[in-house]
Amino acid sequence: MRAACRETAKPDELFVKGAEQNQAKQVCQGCVVRTECLAEALDNQIEWGVWGGMTERERRALLRRHPNASWRNVLETARTKAQQKAVTA
């Protein structure tokens, strides 16, 4: 598996400010490793750039609300439930 950003974006395009962040977030849409990427950024409190479709501001807000969460477990569980729901629908 390869991250979408490795295929379509230059690294500097994911470390931008303001409205450019919306473009950077689009790179993450449909990425096969989006969950793992976001979990990495949240669990390690990475401060800069767009990771897993979230900006640093969005990640900080999430971390303030749930400072002790194990994000990899939370996100992987949510992904599994969504996949199971899609199969049964």
Whether residue 73 is annotated as binding a ligand: the answer is no
Q: Is 60 annotated as a binding residue?
A: no
Q: What Å distances lie between residue 75 and 25, 71, 72, 82, CA to CA? A: 18, 6, 5, 11
29 is in an annotated binding site: no
Distance of CA 31 to the CA centre of its chain: 9
Q: In 3-state terms, the chain is what percent helix, strand and coil (to 5)?
A: 65, 0, 35
Q: 51: annotated binding-site residue? A: no
Under a CB-based contact definition with an 8 Å cutoff, are residues 49 and 27 in contact?
no
Binding annotation: 5, 28, 31, 37
Known binding-site residues for [4Fe-4S] cluster equal 5, 28, 31, 37
